Structure 1
Amino acid sequence: MPSTHEIELPPTLRERALSWLATPAPEREIAPARLASTVLLLRESDAGAEVFMQRRVASMKFAPSMWVFPGGGVDPRDEVVGLPWAGPSPAQWARLIGIPEARARAVVIAAVREVFEECGVLLAGPSDDEVVLDATSDDWQADRAAVLDRSLSFGELLERRGLLLRSDLLALQDHWITPEMEPRRYDTWFFSARLPGRQVADDDTTEATEAVWRLPAEVLQEAEQGAANLMPPTLTQLRRIAGWPDLAPATVSRERLGAVMPQPVRDGDRLLLRAHLND
């Protein structure tokens, strides 16, 4: 059964929430939610499971200064048909996610592309049971920059390198939609993936001031103390990971996920953001 989660709205969102609640529902302007993918990149350490996180720069239009996982919006070129592929097919992902095949394909491609762009990790290999061993060389970084500036599509990169997208390295974890009161909104699918072999996740991105491996329990403790800013979906994923006995759940997709869309609510003098979670 879904559970209900509530957090106190931060001061930066109170004015927006008050304006939204004061506006009659038929008069509210709701921005469309852009399809997006986020990846919980995980590895084992002596201290337990670690997740790769980035603290976004303060000037970002969406989630400034927040700790987040690698991810971003679906690009039109993520909708390509015929991209070299291994693992569950787009049709199988569509059945799992519950969206049309074309959109499911784009969501999976975006997840793999964003991880490569934002931290240099490539979930692809020369065959359906191999993965790229190292993507840190200068030629790989040149290709990464070309994918990022859109002079090279992700599909073109795979074809030129003779690689297959390894969709089997992803597992579905959650589905969140940005609250309707927000002017910039995303319809985001959360995936998990274990860091492949000898690959390295780096901090070479202009979107973050920090990019490091973190223990979920430590990030949660910092959030409770006010030292780390987390959005509700990030908080929820960290709590889930912190409860895993090992990384086996990171390789298994969760099924029958409903969309979680937090809503602002009043509770006396308090303003809360309430969400019904996928437990």
Structure 2
Amino acid sequence: MPELPEELTLPKGYVADGPPAVPAPAKDSATVVLLRDVPGSIEVFLLRRVLGMAFAGGMTAFPGGGLDGRDADTSVAWAGPEPAWWAHRFGCAPEKARALVCAAVRETFEEAGVLLAGPDGDSVVGDTTRYAEYRAALVSRQVSLAQFLAEEGLVLRADLLRPWANWVTPIDEPRRYDTRFFIAALPEGQRADGVTSEAEDVEWCTPAEALAAWREGRRGLLPPTWMTLAELAEHSSVASALAEDRAIDKIIPKVVREGSVIRAVLPGDPRYDAAPGHVDAEPGDRIER
């Protein structure tokens, strides 16, 4: 795992004004890193979150979000590794693993217009604009993923996803997420777009370009996003990334204050074990990208 750079500090408002009586529970969520090949490298699909959002507003991220209770519906037609396989990789119950994969597919469609499903287990849909009404209905929670797929005769393609990482928000954060990261290739014939109220802009770029934009102060990145980009920068093709057999360990950063900035430290960092249980926010907290 690459080391987080010292320049990667956390945004103002990331920690609460006082220690929580009880750490907020971490909500299960799923994030999908969409990939496509370009000559000599790969590109990732990135969204800049709307500035006013309660969590990570203004930061650059991948499509994703929290589980909907209906993501656990077992009627979803399924192709690919069974929930027990995903449960083993992510260290959770098969029921939760199934819901996480469904959430990954649903959120990718809602936020990027990319649908990891097809008429059968050997095909995937092409142009997804015909499903625009369903996409809007999923966002508004008028329909569930299971309803959508059943009504259109589609099969969820779990085999198009690969597990990548599992990050948990530090206990200092009042809004916490236990996020499973997936990677997936952009299906042929489909187009990722920015038709979502949660993003102010979107772009495809290589991991190296995204990291350069962060270094130049043009994009803000939280540690899980920075780390994922740094890891993917080591791959020259989508096939290479998809073929990586990764051990998925739950990563729970801690937060430390150094001068006027706060930063995340990871297990293995000498500062990790000595990190306090809580770091109070200060008016001088600022974003340093």
TM-score (norm 2): 0.86
Residue type matched to 1:58 in 2? L
Q: Distance in 2 between matches of 1:11 and 1:79?
A: 34
* Aligned pair partner of 1:202 in 186, 193, 197: 193
Residue type matched to 1:121 in 2? V
Specify the SS of the correspondent of 1:276. Answer: coil
- For structure 1, the residue ranges without an aligned partner over 5 or more in a row are none
Q: Distance in 2 between matches of 1:270 and 1:158?
A: 47
* Aligned pair partner of 2:214 in 223, 228, 233: 223
Structure 2 residue 12 is the aligned partner of structure 1 residue 12: yes
Question: Could you tell me which residue of structure 1 aligns to residue 149 of structure 2?
Answer: 158
Matched residues, percent identical? Answer: 42
* Aligned pair partner of 1:107 in 96, 100, 104: 100
* Aligned pair partner of 1:124 in 117, 130, 135: 117
Counterpart mapping for 1:40-119 below 5 A: 40-46=33-39, 48-119=41-112
- For structure 2, the residue ranges without an aligned partner over 5 or more in a row are 269-289
Q: CA 1:244–1:226 in structure 2 vs 1: closer, same or farther (change >3 Å)? A: same
Q: Distance in 1 between matches of 2:220 and 2:232?
A: 18
Query: Are the aligned partners of 2:40 and 2:236 in contact in 1 as well (CA < 8 Å)?
Result: no
Specify the SS of the correspondent of 2:135. Answer: helix
Question: Could you tell me which residue of structure 1 aligns to residue 236 of structure 2?
Answer: 245
Q: CA 1:52–1:177 in structure 2 vs 1: closer, same or farther (change >3 Å)? A: same
- Structure having the higher helix fraction is 1
Residue type matched to 2:76 in 1? L
Q: Distance in 2 between matches of 1:116 and 1:269?
A: 40
Question: Could you tell me which residue of structure 1 aligns to residue 272 of structure 2?
Answer: none
Question: Could you tell me which residue of structure 1 aligns to residue 205 of structure 2?
Answer: 214
Q: Distance in 1 between matches of 2:21 and 2:176?
A: 15
* Aligned pair partner of 2:165 in 158, 162, 174: 174
Counterpart mapping for 1:25-40 below 5 A: 28-40=21-33
Displacement, 1:79?
A: 0.9
Question: Could you tell me which residue of structure 2 aligns to residue 147 of structure 1?
Answer: 138
Q: Distance in 2 between matches of 1:257 and 1:71?
A: 18
Q: Which moved more, 1:141-150 or 1:164-173?
A: 141-150
* Aligned pair partner of 1:258 in 249, 255, 259: 249
Q: CA 1:210–1:154 in structure 2 vs 1: closer, same or farther (change >3 Å)? A: same
Residue type matched to 1:216 in 2? P
Query: Are the aligned partners of 2:42 and 2:237 in contact in 1 as well (CA < 8 Å)?
Result: yes
CA RMSD of aligned residues (A): 2.1
Displacement, 1:44?
A: 1.0
Displacement, 1:275?
A: 1.3
Q: Distance in 2 between matches of 1:151 and 1:166?
A: 23
**Structure 1 residues 41-63: Cα deviation after superposition (integer angstroms, max 9, x where no partner):** 01112362111110011110010
Residue type matched to 1:122 in 2? L
Q: Distance in 2 between matches of 1:9 and 1:46?
A: 33
Residue type matched to 2:42 in 1? A
Q: Which moved more, 1:40-49 or 1:162-171?
A: 40-49
Q: Distance in 2 between matches of 1:127 and 1:222?
A: 40
Aligned residue pairs total: 267
Query: Are the aligned partners of 2:10 and 2:261 in contact in 1 as well (CA < 8 Å)?
Result: no
Q: Which moved more, 1:164-173 or 1:82-91?
A: 82-91
Displacement, 1:269?
A: 7.5
Q: Distance in 1 between matches of 2:12 and 2:163?
A: 31
